[in-house]
Amino acid sequence: MGEIMKIHCNACRAEWECMTGCGLQHGRKENIIAAFQTEEQARVMKLLTQNPIPLYDFRYQIASCSFCHKPVSVPVLRSIENDEIYTGICPACGNQPQTPLPEDITDMTCPVCGNQALTADEVGHWD
């Protein structure tokens, strides 16, 4: 089950809501492929079909987009066999965001005011 995270800047009071993790639906390859934008799906399909029994990890992670200046949820697919990682594009602007952030976002600067004052609270679950 995934988590819904509310990201809040203590300096300027900006807020965003992002999904993290994955749901039961992502146990099927077709649903993982559908989580990515249309222009990304061929590459994701190739990664998932490289081996007869592919080993992979899929989840949504929070990433900072340097183009639209928002923290966003992006799909991330990692091949366990060769450690290749494919990160989806920003759902807000369609550009490639920065590398997904670790679970702790306190080191991330606020995209609105530039202060290092972000906190994240779990506000719900999704599946």
Task: Find, among 55, 32, 28, 27, the residue nearest to 45 by Cα.
Answer: 32
CA distances in angstroms from 125 to 23, 35, 94, 101, 118, listed in the order given:
9, 18, 26, 19, 21
Res 39: pLDDT: 94
The dihedrals phi and psi of 44, each to the nearest 5 degrees, come to -65, -45
Reported as a single tens digit per residue, the pLDDT across 79-121 is 988 888 999 999 999 999 887 766 777 778 888 899 998 999 9
Reported as a single tens digit per residue, the pLDDT across 10-43 is 999 999 999 999 998 998 999 999 999 999 999 9
CA distances in angstroms from 91 to 32, 62, 67, 69, 79, listed in the order given:
15, 12, 12, 12, 22
- The structural domain count of the chain equals 1
Tokens 């779990």 -> residue: 122
Report how far residue 126's alpha carbon sits from residue 32's, in angstroms, rounded to the nearest whole number.
16
Coil vs helix vs strand at 48: helix
Res 12: pLDDT: 96
Domain, as residue range, for 20: 2-126
